[in-house]
């Protein structure tokens, strides 16, 4: 038992080491590509640095020296990496000699820095359309990996197995077959175009609902076509009692009934099956019951008035009264309301002084 566990543990650790190495290789390629991009930006930024006006002949002579000078290279290298980018700084430190070699000796013969440095010299990347330690061609060939219908695993890096991760429309080892929901609109030995089926089809061999092999959920075969299934036409509604069913293409919606309905067959009070409390059916429509119009007064407190609301009513104190401790009492008038207000007195005093 212990031996079996140790074997499993060793296999797991080996797998983790392999995964870590693969991730490191992928990150190294990305780092190298970014480094080359920053190098080209440095070339652009320093193209005419410290020149612009004056003696043209002197500038041309001096500029030609600066163009391939160590000073310019140092300025570019200093800005290749952000201070917090450990991978980039480590790569520059480890391979600074190769960068200098390219700058002083190899640049004219091998102007493509990415190819010379990342692919052929430090070997952390591969050319496009190739993968793995030996930069083998992806399935479908390096010119058209996965026949342009997918993505090659490890494309351009020293990792991966070159297998195809197909786009949504395609399937198969080489991404030449059509996935469910798509049909082949163009096909030869090296090229395939898959186009979306009609919305009614799960699988198909053409563009219309007559070309469906299988119907999607919410559709059914009728006369050789996939047509919409009206879920709302079933005897038992798929919706709750206080909702009505609204059919849509391939599906349905459950919408809330009008507030005057307990149950309904559609939108609005005219489609109620049963009226809610506080409403009554009149000429096929659920209308509000005016409880305040009843023969008996339903608001029984003194100085109280009935106020009708949609589907109900409220008992409120009559005008000039307010609710205090459950009783409607007369609102006490303030001094301003009872007689002359303070502002009025001030106006009168001002007018008197003017006289």
CA distance 229 to 252: 9
pLDDT along the chain (355 residues), means of 10: 53 41 68 96 84 49 76 94 95 96 95 97 97 96 95 96 96 95 91 95 96 96 95 91 95 96 94 94 93 89 93 93 92 64 43 39
Q: How is domain 292-331 classified at the architecture level of CATH?
A: Ribbon (2.10)
| Residue whose token pair is 């695993």 | 153
CA distance 38 to 9: 43
HSE at residue 51, side-chain half, CA atoms within 13 A, is: 18
Do 70 and 101 form a contact (C-beta atoms < 8 A)?
A: no
Q: What is the pLDDT of residue 5?
A: 59
CA distance 37 to 47: 15
Backbone angles phi, psi at 241, to 5 degrees: -60, -35
**Total number of residues shown for the chain:** 355
Is the pTM higher than 0.75? The answer reads: no
Do 272 and 260 form a contact (C-beta atoms < 8 A)?
A: yes
Q: How many CB atoms lie within 10 A of CB 304?
A: 17
CA distance 182 to 170: 8
C-alpha distances (whole Å) from 108 to each of 35, 43, 46, 119 are: 20, 15, 18, 18
Q: Which helix (H) or strand (E) holds 21?
A: helix 2-45
User: Pick from 158, 211, 155: which is nearest to 183 by CA?
Assistant: 211
CA distance 304 to 297: 10
Q: Which helix (H) or strand (E) holds 14?
A: helix 2-45
Chain-centroid distance of CA 190 in Å reads 34
Q: What is the pLDDT of residue 195?
A: 97
User: Pick from 41, 110, 47: which is nearest to 81 by CA?
Assistant: 41
At 137, is the secondary structure helix, strand, or coil? strand
């Amino acid at each position: 038992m212990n031996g079996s566990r140790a074997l499993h543990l060793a296999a797991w650790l080996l797998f983790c080491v392999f995964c870590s190495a693969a991730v490191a290789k992928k990150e190294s390629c990305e780092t190298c590509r970014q480094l080359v991009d920053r190098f080209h930006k440095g070339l652009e930024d320093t193209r005419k640095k410290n020149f612009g006006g004056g003696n043209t002949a002197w500038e041309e002579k001096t500029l030609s020296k600066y163009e391939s000078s160590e000073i310019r290279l140092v300025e570019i290298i200093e800005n290749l990496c952000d201070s917090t980018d450990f991978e980039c700084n480590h790569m520059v430190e480890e391979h600074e000699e190769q960068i200098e070699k390219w700058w002083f000796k190899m640049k004219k013969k091998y102007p493509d820095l990415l190819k010379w440095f990342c692919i052929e010299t430090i070997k952390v990347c591969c050319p496009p359309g190739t993968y793995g330690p030996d930069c083998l061609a992806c399935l479908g060939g390096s010119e058209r990996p996965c026949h342009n219908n997918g993505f090659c695993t490890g494309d351009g890096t020293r990792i991966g197995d070159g297998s195809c991760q197909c786009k949504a429309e395609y399937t198969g080892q080489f991404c030449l077959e059509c996935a469910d929901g798509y049909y082949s609109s163009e096909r030869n030995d090296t090229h395939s175009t898959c186009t979306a089926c009609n919305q009614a089809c799960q699988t198909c061999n053409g563009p219309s609902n007559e070309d469906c092999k299988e119907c999607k959920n919410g559709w059914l075969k009728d006369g050789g076509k996939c047509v919409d299934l009206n879920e709302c036409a079933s005897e038992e509604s798929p919706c709750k009692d206080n909702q009505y069913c609204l059919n849509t293409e391939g599906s349905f919606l459950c919408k809330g009934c009008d507030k005057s309905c307990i149950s309904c067959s559609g939108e609005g009070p005219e489609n109620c099956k049963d009226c809610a409390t506080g409403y009554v059916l009149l000429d096929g429509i659920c209308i509000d019951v005016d409880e305040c119009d009843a023969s008996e007064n339903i608001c029984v407190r003194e100085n109280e008035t009935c106020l009708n609301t949609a589907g109900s009513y409220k008992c409120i104190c009559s005008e000039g009264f307010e609710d205090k401790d459950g009783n409607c009492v007369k609102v006490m008038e303030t001094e301003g309301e009872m007689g002359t207000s303070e502002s009025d007195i001030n106006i009168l005093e001002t007018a008197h002084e003017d006289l």
